[in-house]
Amino acid sequence: MKVEVRVYPKEGVLDPQGRAIASALGRLGHASVEDVRAGKIFFLEVDGTDPAAVEAEARRMAEELLANTVIEGFDVRIPSEP
């Protein structure tokens, strides 16, 4: 079963990456860009059939390893099949 974990800088925490990208986009002529936050996304393939259980497991993985919860938030979702 596929599950996605998205990790992003917490509100208020400095995001130098996002800032650098935003100003680069500005220089490249994408004047409409107002803000960029840079995060990570993990595409997991997990052995399991119960979406709730897989989601809970992914949440634990995020807390333990994938996100640095001191400065990052995360969310978990099971993508609908394409």
Partner 1 sequence: MRGGKPKFAIVVFPGSNCDQDCHHVATELLGCDAEYVWHRDTDLKGADVVILPGGFAYGDYLRAGALARFSPVMEAVTRFAMDGGPVLGICNGFQVLLEAGLLPGAVRVNRGLRYVCKDVHMRVENASTAFTRLYEPGQIVKMPIGHGEGNYTAPPETLTGLEFEAGVVFRYCDAEGRVTDEANPNGATAGIAGIANREGNIVGLMPHPDRCAEGILGNDVGRKMFESAVATLATA
Partner 2 sequence: MTSAAHPRELIEEHNLSADEYDRIVEILGREPNLVELGIFSAMWSEHCSYKSSRVHLKKLPTTGPRVIQGPGENAGIVDIGDGLAVAFKMESHNHPSFIEPYQGAATGVGGILRDIFTMGARPIASLDSLRFGHLDAPRMRHLVDGVVRGIAGYGNCIGIPTVGGETTFHPAYDRNILVNVMNVGIVEKDRIFRGRAEGAGNPVIYVGSKTGRDGIHGATMASEEFAGDETRQKRPTVQVGDPFTEKLLMEACLELFRTDAVVGIQDMGAAGLTSSSFEMAGRAGSGLEIDLSKVPVRETGMTPYEILLSESQERMLLVARRDRLETALDVFRKWELEAVEIGRVTDSGRVVLFFDGAIVADLPAAPLSDRAPLYDRPCVAPAAVGSRGWEALPEPGSYGACLRRILASPNVARKSWIWTQYDHMVGTNTVERPGGDAAVLRIKGTSKAIAIKSDVNPFFCSCDPYRGAAIAVAEAARSIAATGARPLAVTDCLNFGNPERPEIMGQFEAAVRGLADACRALSTPVVSGNVSFYNETDGRPILPTPTVGMVGLLDDVERRVTMPFRRRGDFVALFGKTRDELGASEFLRTIHGRDEGPCPEVDLAAERRLVDLLVGLAREGRLASAHDVSDGGLAVALAECAMEANLGASVVLAPEPRPSAHLFGESTGRVLVTFSPGERGSVESAAQAAGVPMDVIGRVGGERLEVRAGGGPPLLDEPVAELHRIWTSSFARAIEEAAEVL
Binding footprint of partner 1 on the chain (CB under 8 A): 9, 13-17, 20-21, 24, 27-28, 38, 65-66, 68, 70-71
Decide if residue 15 touches partner 2 (CB under 8 A).
yes
Question: Residues in contact with partner 2, total (CB under 8 A)?
Answer: 17
Give the C-alpha separation, 52 to 46, whole Å.
12
Q: How far apart are CA 80 and CA 58, in angstroms?
A: 16
Q: Which helix (H) or strand (E) holds 17?
A: helix 16-27
Nearer to partner 1, 33 or 65 (CB): 65
Using DSSP, state whether 52 is helix, strand or coil: helix
Gap between the Cα atoms of 2 and 54, Å rounded: 9
Q: Where along the sequence are the contacts to partner 2 (CB under 8 A)? A: 9, 12-17, 20-21, 23-24, 27, 65-66, 68, 70-71
Q: Where along the sequence are the contacts to its own copies (CB under 8 A)? A: 6, 8, 18, 21, 24-25, 28, 30, 32-48, 54, 57, 60-61, 64-66
